Structure 1
Amino acid sequence: MLFELTQEEVLIRDTARKIATDRIQPLAETLDRGGGRAEFLANLKALAESGFMAVNIRSEFGGTEAGSVAFALTVEELGYACASTGVTASVTNMVAEVIQAVGSAAQKRLYIPRLADGTYPAGAFCLTEAAAGSDPAGMKTRARRDGDDFVLDGQKLYITSGEYAGLFIVWAVTDPEAKKGKGISCFLVEAGTPGLTIGKAEKKLGQHGSATNVVHFDGCRVPGSALMGKLDDGFRIAVGELAGGRIGIAALSLGIARAAMDAAKAYVRERQQFGQAISEFQGIQWMIADRETDLEAARLLILSAAARKDRGEPFGREASMAKLFASEAALRATDTALQLHGGAGYCADFPVERHFRDARITRIYEGTSEVQRLIIARETLRQ
């Protein structure tokens, strides 16, 4: 089995790393403290202009056409530099991929190039509701027919990039009499559409640069052409096409974990106690060894899932494995990194406390760790 990256994948990874080092990492602390909004949007535009908002999108729609492995490498590098930027890029890429997979020819031509070139600063998924998180089939947002149009009413929670997304993929119930999960449809709604309003930004533990908002739909009228895929077939899109997003969050988790452990390794080489660098103590070395093993295992799971996707093979179980393991490993890595810093790690003067906070959400969004275990078990038993 070959584990070498292609020349194109290496080039994309290295280019992403350079942009992340030069532009994104210097802004991470400012974003974490609530500033840098204009610079953040400028960085998103720069990423789009370099092809990083449409990595696995065909060139006819303005994409890089580099594949899922390249996508994972990109998100890892961005996550290493700034988790908020990394998650924004990951979600935007996946919005474009879902449209490419199930959208009409007209939808692909209209919307994907605007995501790819940065006309839309970001894309967003409107799926989660107050009573429909891990159970999206329980959503209450409605879309009713009115002539040739649909009218959307409802509220979505925890929407990544809500404040600056240019395009939303929205799930809504179109047949309330249907069996649970069978009467849901999927719509494309542009920012600025009357009836779509962005609510308050959530005050979060971490990833402060990534806006997370309530999104309201109050008599939001969209044309029939906004329907993506078949009527009442939206739930299949949610549980099927979005599996690729788990590869992105797994890669993001790995990037955050790498950043934390790199900071910790540098610190323990310099920190002196009992007349020597604390990196010389076996206990410290074993902590590092365990976490580095975690990260290597996470990397292989991510690349395996991405490679399966690139080959056109089923990858849902593998994506869930990668997301589960990488996000849990990121929590262990950032906790260990903070511990290796001692009291300094608890202070905002060191980036490791930001990495610790940024990593926590990776076990929750794009499907909780508990949901990933259900998926893995179900698919394993089915096989």
Structure 2
Amino acid sequence: MDFTPTEEQSAARELAAQIFTDLSTPDRLGALGTGADQELWKELCAAGLGGAVRETGLLGLVLMLEEQGRTTAQVPFAATCAYGLLAVAAHGCAAQRERLLPALEDGTEVATGAFPAQPGVRADAAGRLSGTVAWVPWLRDATYVLVAAADHSLWMVRAADAEVEPVELTAPWSAGRLVLDATPGERLGAGGREVYEDVLAGARTAFAGLQAGVCAGALARAVEHTSEREQFGKPLAAKQAVLLRAADAYMDTEAIRVTAYEAAWRRDAGLDHRAASLTAAWWGAEAGRRVVHAGQHLHGGTGADLDHPVHRHFLWGRQLDAYLGCGAEVLADLGELIAHEGDGAEEARSA
């Protein structure tokens, strides 16, 4: 495995970092509320970063999402790329790719996903969907929703054709409750569970990459604070307990990053990346929670200020923790996948 970025991936990451840093400032974020930053979204798309995802692959997307996470920029970049651009490019028919991709690339259309598969969502023979999804990230800003039905089939639904009820989450992700009542949908891909698992694995990897950035941003703020804040004439960073807490957070952040890189690299190389994506999701959920708690704790009383920038990292980290899945459930899914692969290998040897 070689995670060294290509020139194109490095250029995309550097451009993303510049745009996020310049526009996603604490003052701007404080004035946004829970909605998306439309000016920032237009700037990202005008710079061609949406279209760059198809060229730089999932690893390139993870690198850009790290930069978004560092600033907790309020744009539906991960959702649009994972559930829109990459999903349609990989599994859409030629007509779907021709019709959907240009608008998703230039940002005039926004996609999100009702994932994982919803047991209460079903599609009839005519392709009309019924059921309710409790919350979908960025739904209030979305044009399209990629819905995973109970049978693991995927359907692209126009948000305007469904009922959308606002839902407030821990992080300001402009979420909504999706109500489908004989809502027309367009099936994505001819396959069933195989297509579903590929899209789900890609989304897990993307959001784990976003979590790596959130954690890196929280840790950077904590390091800056403890280096400047003094107690009894010495910086807080000189205390062994502070150093150990920060070191643990650093190792957790690196674990999230490297597992996300591996999952993305495997996907781009055409290898099975399901187990790697579950590994990245577990680290993103479990270690991510530890890191954002440490980041806030290391700020002492300042970390209790709800308006302090580090609190945004805490909120995003906890939301991504919930979105990536409960650690025990993710491990159960990973164990089931490994056991199933082991059974398949044993059957092949017996044959």
Asked if Structure 1 and Structure 2 have the same fold, meaning a TM-score greater than 0.5 normalized by the shorter chain, the answer is: yes
| Structure 1 counterpart of 2:345 | none
SS in 2 for 1:312: coil
SS in 2 for 1:140: coil
Q: Structure 1 residue aligned with 2:105, among 116, 120, 124?
A: 116
Counterparts of 1:1-383 in structure 2, within 5 Å, are 2-26=2-26, 27-31=28-32, 33-34=33-34, 37=35, 40-57=37-54, 65-82=55-72, 84-85=74-75, 88-95=76-83, 96-120=85-109, 122-127=110-115, 136=117, 139-145=119-125, 149-172=126-149, 181=151, 184-193=152-161, 196-199=162-165, 201-205=166-170, 207-208=171-172, 210-222=173-185, 226-230=186-190, 233-381=191-339, 382-383=341-342
Distance of 1:172 and 1:291 partners within structure 2: 38
| 8 A Cα contact 2:288 2:321, kept in partner | no
SS in 2 for 1:119: coil
Distance of 1:52 and 1:372 partners within structure 2: 31
Distance of 2:322 and 2:197 partners within structure 1: 16
Amino acid at match of 2:169: K
User: CA shift at 1:54, angstroms?
Assistant: 4.1
| 8 A Cα contact 1:254 1:327, kept in partner | no
In structure 2, relative to structure 1, the CA distance for the partners of 1:66 and 1:342 (3 Å cut) is same
Amino acid at match of 2:177: V
Distance of 2:78 and 2:115 partners within structure 1: 16
Distance of 1:20 and 1:167 partners within structure 2: 24
| 8 A Cα contact 1:20 1:81, kept in partner | yes
In structure 2, relative to structure 1, the CA distance for the partners of 1:377 and 1:337 (3 Å cut) is same
| 8 A Cα contact 1:83 1:256, kept in partner | no
SS in 2 for 1:254: helix
Distance of 1:104 and 1:367 partners within structure 2: 31
Amino acid at match of 2:163: T
SS in 1 for 2:183: strand
Q: TM-score, normalised by structure 1?
A: 0.82
Amino acid at match of 1:197: E
User: CA shift at 1:237, angstroms?
Assistant: 2.9
Cα-to-partner distance string for 1:136-181 (whole Å, 9 max, x where unaligned):
3x62233223xxx4333222221111112111222346xxxxxxx4
In structure 2, relative to structure 1, the CA distance for the partners of 1:171 and 1:281 (3 Å cut) is closer
Distance of 2:115 and 2:285 partners within structure 1: 21
Task: Tell me the number of residue pairs that the alignment of Structure 1 and Structure 2 aligns.
Answer: 339
Distance of 2:58 and 2:89 partners within structure 1: 14
Cα RMSD of the aligned pairs, angstroms, is 2.1
Amino acid at match of 1:185: S
User: CA shift at 1:3, angstroms?
Assistant: 4.4
4+ residue segments displaced more than 4 Å = none
SS in 1 for 2:21: helix
Amino acid at match of 2:164: I
In structure 2, relative to structure 1, the CA distance for the partners of 1:150 and 1:313 (3 Å cut) is closer
Cα-to-partner distance string for 1:292-336 (whole Å, 9 max, x where unaligned):
122222222121221111111111111111121133222111111
Distance of 2:73 and 2:274 partners within structure 1: 24
In structure 2, relative to structure 1, the CA distance for the partners of 1:140 and 1:293 (3 Å cut) is closer
In structure 2, relative to structure 1, the CA distance for the partners of 1:3 and 1:197 (3 Å cut) is closer
Distance of 1:221 and 1:9 partners within structure 2: 37
Q: TM-score, normalised by structure 2?
A: 0.89
| 8 A Cα contact 2:122 2:129, kept in partner | yes
Which structure dedicates a bigger proportion of its chain to helix? 2
In structure 2, relative to structure 1, the CA distance for the partners of 1:187 and 1:379 (3 Å cut) is closer
Distance of 1:335 and 1:342 partners within structure 2: 11
Distance of 1:142 and 1:318 partners within structure 2: 29
SS in 2 for 1:56: helix
| 8 A Cα contact 1:23 1:43, kept in partner | yes
| 8 A Cα contact 2:129 2:183, kept in partner | yes
| Structure 1 counterpart of 2:347 | none
